[in-house]
Amino acid sequence: MISSRVHRNFLGLVTASIVVVTLVTAAACSGDSKPRPVNLRACAPEDSATWLAVLAYVKAASPYPQRFLSPSGTDSSLPDVGVLALHEKGPTYFFPPDSAQRLKVRKKMLDVGPYTTLLVAWHGSHRETDTSLVVRLGGTYIGGPHNAEQGIPRAFRFGCDNGRWRLRATTEEKKS
């Protein structure tokens, strides 16, 4: 007897749930609101352009880096996707703003070996139009024979093509 009562209550709840979902759906879909135009020029999130820009920056670097530093806790810090792109290219360390912590990172890198190390710095991104985007990056070599040498600052210009960011041009910018 108890099990049939539970069964009836369960069926009642399921039926009530179906009715509520149907009424909510009907209310949401009713009205005389105009259909919204579809933005055919909508492009992928800017993260994909950042990823491509970081990979292109590393590829163009001379001398070619064997490991990477990403500034942390500053306005030059790469977005997370930029750090992931560096990881794809080689060992990556965070370079803190505190000089004592930086010494620890440099010691660790010396213990690992004398590899060419490039700190990749974020100089920002902005949309020029709905379908064009510019990502700016710079860099500095840290440690080894190229210590304190500046990498060439570059601007990476992207265009939206079929919903994806495509690298259109790379330009060198003046060193600051």
Angle (CA) 95 167 136, round 5° = 35
Q: State whether 89 and 27 are in the same domain.
A: no
> Does one domain contain both 25 and 74?
no
Residue 89 sits in which domain range? 46-172
- Report which of 174, 171, 164, 172 is spatially closest to residue 52, judged by C-alpha positions: 164
Evaluate whether residue 59 is within a structural domain. Answer: yes
Question: Does the residue 40 lie in any domain?
Answer: no
Q: Is residue 164 part of a domain?
A: yes
Q: How far apart are CA 52 and CA 118, in angstroms?
A: 17
The answer to whether position 38 is within a domain reads no
Cα 37 to the chain's mean position, in Å? 28
Do both 52 and 103 map to the same domain? yes
Question: 3-class DSSP state for residue 6?
Answer: helix
Q: Number of structural domains, the chain?
A: 2
* pLDDT value, residue 27: 45
HEC-encoded secondary structure of 103-167: HHHHHHHHHHCCCCEEEEEEEEEEEEECCEEEEEEEEEECCHHHCCCECCCEEEEEEEECCEEEE
Is residue 64 located within the same domain as residue 28?
Answer: no
In this structure, are 28 and 103 located in the same domain? no
pLDDT of amino acid 176: 61
Q: Are residues 70 and 146 in the same domain?
A: yes
Same-domain pairing of 20 and 52: no
* Same-domain pairing of 67 and 9: no
Q: Is residue 60 part of a domain?
A: yes
Which uninterrupted H or E stretch holds 68?
strand 67-71
CA triplet 69, 70, 75: central angle to 5 degrees?
Answer: 145
Q: Do residues 26 and 101 both lie within one domain?
A: no
Query: Is there a domain that residue 102 lies in?
Result: yes
Indicate whether 21 and 51 sit together in one domain: no
Q: Is residue 98 part of a domain?
A: yes
pLDDT by residue for the chain (176 residues), tens only, comes to: 444 544 455 445 445 445 444 443 444 444 544 544 434 458 999 999 999 999 999 999 999 999 999 999 999 999 999 999 999 999 999 999 999 999 999 999 999 998 999 999 999 999 999 999 999 999 999 998 899 999 999 999 999 999 999 999 999 998 76
